[in-house]
Amino acid sequence: MKKKLAAGILSMALAVGMVFPVSAADTKTENMTVTYTQGESYLLSIPASAQGLDLSTTQDVTTDVGVTGVNLAPGRKIQVRVTAGVNGSGVVELTQAGGTAVLQSSLTLQETGAPVTLNQTFAEFTTDGSKTLNFSALKTQDNSQVKAGSYSGTITFSADITQ
């Protein structure tokens, strides 16, 4: 009977130990990181149509370049520049179809009059917005009479997201 009593007490001690096996020292806490990344986006709007932008020999012509749908990370901005079609002074050249004549127009920002030159940022945006560009009246290189014919040129705009 003493053996049964001792065995019973031992069994109860083990049972109590099994019911409460966790102590504060055994508790573990782990973190799980959850993430989501939304890509940056925007739509660059430049003057474009089937005919392009019609310039004039008698008056300046303006057009807007802008961005819409801007969704940028904090501290980021969109920079717009011209990568082809103007020179270092902001002069655009249009060449005569089937000929050798050239017409020129100075491209500037309307609000400041600053020339829009090759590979230089002329506009920065953090939200939807636009800048108005001014094309001066077309003229020949030597200010002579404009020869009959169609003239054209291409301006390439580039936009980048930067810090």
Q: How far apart are CA 5 and CA 18, in angstroms?
A: 20
Reported as a pLDDT band with limits 50, 70 and 90, residue 53 is confident
Reported as a pLDDT band with limits 50, 70 and 90, residue 117 is very high
Q: Which CATH class is domain 41-162?
A: mainly beta
Residue with more model confidence, 83 or 52: 83
DSSP string, 81-141: EEEESB-TT-EEEEEETTS--EEEEEEEETTT--B--BT-EEEEESSSEEEEEEEPPPEET
Query: Do 71 and 41 meet the contact criterion of CB atoms below 8 Å apart?
Result: yes
**11 pLDDT higher than 70:** no
